[in-house]
Every structure is written in structure tokens, then in C-alpha cells.
Amino acid sequence: MVIGEAARSMNAEMRDRYPSIPWGRIMGFRNFAVHEYFAVEWNIVWAIAHRDVPTLEKQVFSILAVEYPNLAAPLERSN
């Protein structure tokens, strides 16, 4: 849900610069998880968290390195 909120808070221009990231699906899942909580299949969420979130993390660090180089370097060292 936090990732979906962060994606929604980004301006559309920035999201458009990185079309390989499925921003719409990320924001859509956030909306589904919040508004249809009891319909969420948590085993699927678990699988996505383990399979897709690590890839997304790498993509986000790449974006930070391009968009905010002074911010990205300390974050990369802490991981």
C-alpha cells in the first residue's frame, strides 16, 4: 500500500519517463488492497512481494540515481 501511495504521489511526467515500471498496476493494487481488503488473496501478495518487489527496488534506485544523484548515493551505501 505504501508503494502504491508513493507511485500515486509522483508526478505523471516522472512516471512517463519510466514506462517499464507498471505504475498503473502498482496504484491499482493499492486501491484494491485498501478498498477490497477482504477480497485480497494474501498468498498472491506474498508471492509478488518476494518475486517482484526486489526488482522494483532496483528500478527505483536507478531512478533515484538519475533524478536525485545526491540522494541516491547514501541510500545505496546503506543497503
| Known catalytic membership, residue 50 | no
Cβ contacts of residue 72 below 8 Å, gap of 6+?
A: 61, 64, 65
- For residue 32, the enclosing domain spans 2-78
| Known catalytic membership, residue 35 | yes
Check residue 49 and give its pLDDT. Answer: 93
Radius of gyration over every alpha carbon of the chain, rounded to an integer in angstroms = 14
Number of domains in the chain: 1
Q: Which of 35, 50, 51, 77 is catalytic?
A: 35
Check residue 37 and give its pLDDT. Answer: 82
Stretches where the chain sits below pLDDT 50 are: none
